[in-house]
Amino acid sequence: MTKMTSEEIIKLVDELIGETTACGESNADAQIDANLRKVIDVVDFLLEEVVQSAKTRHRYEGSMRQIGERAFSAMCDWKHWLDTAINMD
C-alpha cells in the first residue's frame, strides 16, 4: 500500500470530521461543536508530534538536526500566525 499525500490526508480528514464553523442553527451547531472537538484533539496530537521532532534540532547528526530544525521552524511560523490571528479581533 502506498502512503497518502498531504493533500489526500487533508481531504480525508475533512470528509471524516466535517464542518467546524458555527452556522447559528442550534441542531447543526451541536454537531459542528462535536466536529470541532475532534479537530482540536487531532491537532493536539499532531502538534505534540512536531514538538517531539523539534527536540532533535541541536543534535550532532545532520539528519536529526535537519528534521529538528524543520519542526522548530514550523513551530515558529505557527506562533507568528497564531499571534497574528489572536490579535486580529
pLDDT tens for 19-46 read 999 999 999 999 999 999 999 999 999 9
Tell me the domain boundaries of the chain.
6-86
The Cβ of residue 63 has, within 10 Å, a number of other Cβ atoms equal to 9
Q: What is the mean pLDDT of residues 82-87?
A: 96
CB 29 within 8 A of CB 22: yes
48-83 pLDDT, tens digit each = 999 999 999 999 999 999 999 999 999 999 999 999
Q: How many Å separate Cα 28 from the centre of its chain?
A: 24
Q: Per-residue b/e over 30-51, b at no fewer than 16 CB within 10 Å? A: eebeebbeeeeeeeeeeeeeee
Report pTM: 0.86
CA distance 9 to 65: 26
Contact 53, 71 (CB under 8 A): yes
Helices and strands in the chain, H and E counts: 3, 0
